[in-house]
A and B are shown apart, each in its own frame.
Chain A
Amino acid sequence: MENWRKHPLVFWAFSLPPSFWLIVFFFVPLTLVWGLSFSEKRGIIETELTFTLDNYLRGLEPIYLEILWKSILLAGGATLICLVVGYPVAFAIAFASERWKPWLLLLVILPFWINILIRTYALIAVFRSRGYVNFAYEDLWTAANWLVGLVGLSLGERFVPLSLLYNNVAVVAGIVYAFFPFMVLPLYANIEKLDRSFMEASLDLGAGHWRTFFSVVFPLTWQGALSGIVIVFIPALGAFFIPDLLGGTDSQMIGNVIERQFKSANDWPFGAALSFLLMYATFFALALRALVAGRRGAGALDA
């Protein structure tokens, strides 16, 4: 473990490039934006670092807190759906035969090969009024209408397409679609490591499938679920082009407000403050997660 003390040169050779990367491309820009959040606008392009808290106070006004709360609900709903659907999918992959497993994993990862923006536009083509879902539905409707027409009935004057886009359900669906793989992969990694004999023992001892899942499997794979929740929820909370493209008139998320501050509003200090409010909230959630995990670890030792 402490070999690096004996070979300092090797240690530095290996740690310098990533440190350099981290500092130049992560800490420096982030610090600049952080400084911006304590700045004031001076005219059109100038900002001045005055260590003001006005941007944060403005960000804590009820209107922005409401938008943040709505974003949390939308992102939280999407994360929950990812979790509920992700478990069986991860299970199916983990329990698939060795021959199928790489292919199933590939199917999960495959969407990453296409830019998320293209995939979101593809969703529009699928779900819009004259989209593929409605085309199929119209065919079914026409056929059914012909059938009931045989006995002198009618389903209606004319086909009315389903309104699938431009509402909050579409936004949640878009987020689930975009971030689902981030849930499946950590879940799969944890389920894969799970000792199967625990499940066999549970089933042998008379517990049903549900009982086995909630009393044995879930507690043992909870860490994977937690990782999945964190890496789905955080980017989902900051989503902006998904509500832009799929949302209706009341689908504004905090990411949209931040985007506007950097573009049409031209108020970078306020945009920076909103971004950092989001980041503080995220840090808080991560700290809470670490605390819970730590307590769990301690509890396990006690037992």
Chain B
Amino acid sequence: MRRHHAGRSLIEALSRRRFLTGAAAVGLSFSALPKGLKAQEEAKVNFYNWDTYIGETTLQDFNDATGIEVSMSLFADNDELFARFKEGNPGFDVIVPTNDYCERMITAGMLQKLDHSKIPNFSNVAPAFQDAAFDPGRQYSMPYMWGTMGIGYRKSAVSGVPSSWKAVLESDEYAGRIALLSESRTMLGMAAKYLGYSMNTTKPEEIKAAEELLIKQKPNIKVFAEDNGQDLLLSGEVDLTVEWNGDILQIMAEDPDVSYVVPDEGSLLWQDTLCIPKDAPHPNNAHAFINYILAPEPGAAIAEFIQYATANQAARELLGPEYNENPAIFPTDETIARCEPQTYLGEEAQRLYEEAWTRVMAA
């Protein structure tokens, strides 16, 4: 849900959410059928991706280069992706989970090990992304795009830059003009971060403190947004919203009065990954496709079109300063140092967060 273009039309608003789920299901019933005959893999690859999260012509270019046809289906959020795979792979070859869900799927044995000899373009990946705490040695995942979470705000309606989480989490200065994100783990994690704890805390008393902070702030909050905070900000419904950098970046192109800041207390650093799920019907093609995305030119075309920070260093080198030096795409090293990746904490901790969130919403 955080990767779409800025058009605010009704149909788009719809297509971003559940509508596409249905479309994906229909697409799937056809693509899921063939299986087996591993030696003679059919020239197809089934790609399960976020909306507007690939280059305009990438799939066709890959087909022209290799003769392999890509059939792409879309999911709206990580929960949807995970729920689809819970009862077994419905027929996909390449999926794009975010780091914490990638970790969860590795732990659950839902991904297959990558054959690095089939992905020589891994050498194009920036050194910082050659390894990952959630996947040591990059055995199961390749990095795709990355970014931060922060506050999107309307410059003319806010005094200065809201550079602290305090503006949205513990202040009535902007009462009734704030949207928080309706995601239990992420929002409670941000509250914990503001209180000086880790975003990945598993201590019940720290989660409780985050819960109480949010409950206390509720009278000042207008809405817990379903990841449509950027729409609310653009339409003037709210003046501050907690959102993913890419979402705000896309509306900044439309409305110069909108800006984005990663608060001083630090925030969340996310990374989307390219993975091959267990029982993928076309594993060879899947490797070829991932390798193609990590090549310089295709990677540059994708990054330029979707305007997210790519982990593909060779691709970055092909792009100009308007991409590489955009602070909303690439946060400074100092900002990155203040941020934490969200990690998978196990099912017990997940339940603590969920129950805390239910109480926040019910309070």
A residues near B (Cβ < 8 Å) are 41, 43-45, 63-64, 66-67, 70, 115, 117-118, 121-122, 125, 128-130, 163, 165-166, 241, 244-245, 247-250, 252, 256-257, 260-267
CB atoms of B82 and A241 under 8 A apart:
no
Q: Given A43-B108, A166-B223, A129–B237 Cβ distance below 8 Å?
A: yes
In the bound complex, residues from chain A placing their C-beta under 8 Å from that of B110 are 45
Q: Given A117-B19, A129-B235, A262-B83, A66–B362 Cβ distance below 8 Å?
A: yes
CB atoms of A125 and B10 under 8 A apart:
yes
Q: Given A121-B10, A128-B237, A265-B351, A249–B184 Cβ distance below 8 Å?
A: no
CB atoms of A117 and B236 under 8 A apart:
no
CB atoms of B218 and A249 under 8 A apart:
yes
Say yes or no for B80: interface residue by CB 8 A criterion: yes
Interface residues of B in 193-244 (CB under 8 A from A): 218, 221-224, 226, 235-237
**A255 to B362 Cα, complex, angstroms:** 13
In the bound complex, residues from chain B placing their C-beta under 8 Å from that of A165 are 237
Q: Which residue of A lies closest to B108 (CB)?
A: A44
| A–B Cβ pairs within 8 angstroms, 25 of them | A45-B108, A66-B362, A115-B19, A117-B17, A117-B19, A118-B11, A118-B14, A121-B10, A125-B10, A130-B236, A130-B237, A165-B237, A244-B182, A249-B218, A250-B218, A252-B361, A257-B358, A260-B184, A260-B354, A263-B77, A263-B80, A264-B79, A265-B354, A266-B82, A266-B347
Please give the distance in Å from A246's CB to the nearest CB on chain B. 9
**A244 to B176 Cα, complex, angstroms:** 18
Q: Given A129-B235, A129-B236, A130-B236, A45–B223 Cβ distance below 8 Å?
A: no
- Fill in one digit per residue for B18-47: 1 if any A CB lies within 8 Å of its CB, else 0: 110000000000000000000000000000
Listed from nearest, the 7 A-B pairs whose CB atoms lie closest are A263-B79, A44-B108, A252-B361, A265-B354, A166-B223, A264-B79, A249-B218
Say yes or no for B128: interface residue by CB 8 A criterion: no
CB atoms of B347 and A41 under 8 A apart:
yes
- Fill in one digit per residue for B86-112: 1 if any A CB lies within 8 Å of its CB, else 0: 100000000000000000100110100
In the bound complex, residues from chain B placing their C-beta under 8 Å from that of A249 are 218, 221-224, 361
Between A45, A128, A248, the greatest number of chain B beta carbons within 10 A of the residue's beta carbon is seen for: A45
**A245 to B236 Cα, complex, angstroms:** 16
Q: A115-B14, A166-B222, A266-B347 are in contact. List 17 more A-B contacts (CB 8 A).
A: A41-B347, A43-B347, A44-B107, A45-B86, A64-B358, A67-B358, A117-B17, A121-B10, A121-B13, A128-B237, A130-B236, A166-B223, A250-B363, A252-B358, A256-B361, A266-B79, A266-B82
Please give the distance in Å from A153's CB to the nearest CB on chain B. 27
Please give the distance in Å from B104's CB to the nearest CB on chain A. 6
Say yes or no for B183: interface residue by CB 8 A criterion: yes
CB atoms of B79 and A63 under 8 A apart:
no
Please give the distance in Å from B218's CB to the nearest CB on chain A. 5
B residues near A (Cβ < 8 Å) are 10-11, 13-14, 17-19, 77, 79-80, 82-83, 86, 104, 107-108, 110, 176, 182-185, 218, 221-224, 226, 235-237, 347, 350-351, 354, 357-359, 361-363
Q: Given A166-B222, A260-B354, A117–B79 Cβ distance below 8 Å?
A: no
Q: Which residue of A lies closest to B182 (CB)?
A: A244
In the bound complex, residues from chain A placing their C-beta under 8 Å from that of B223 are 166, 247-249
In the bound complex, residues from chain A placing their C-beta under 8 Å from that of B107 are 44
**A265 to B104 Cα, complex, angstroms:** 13
In the bound complex, residues from chain B placing their C-beta under 8 Å from that of A261 are 354
**A79 to B351 Cα, complex, angstroms:** 34
In the bound complex, residues from chain B placing their C-beta under 8 Å from that of A43 are 108, 347
CB atoms of A248 and B222 under 8 A apart:
yes
CB atoms of B362 and A67 under 8 A apart:
yes
CB atoms of A44 and B10 under 8 A apart:
no
In the bound complex, residues from chain B placing their C-beta under 8 Å from that of A248 are 222-223
CB atoms of B108 and A264 under 8 A apart:
no
In the bound complex, residues from chain B placing their C-beta under 8 Å from that of A267 are 351, 354
In the bound complex, residues from chain A placing their C-beta under 8 Å from that of B182 are 244
Q: Given A249-B223, A250-B363, A264-B184, A63–B358 Cβ distance below 8 Å?
A: yes
**A63 to B354 Cα, complex, angstroms:** 13
Q: Which residue of B lies closest to A64 (CB)?
A: B358
**A122 to B18 Cα, complex, angstroms:** 15
**A260 to B221 Cα, complex, angstroms:** 21
Please give the distance in Å from A255's CB to the nearest CB on chain B. 12
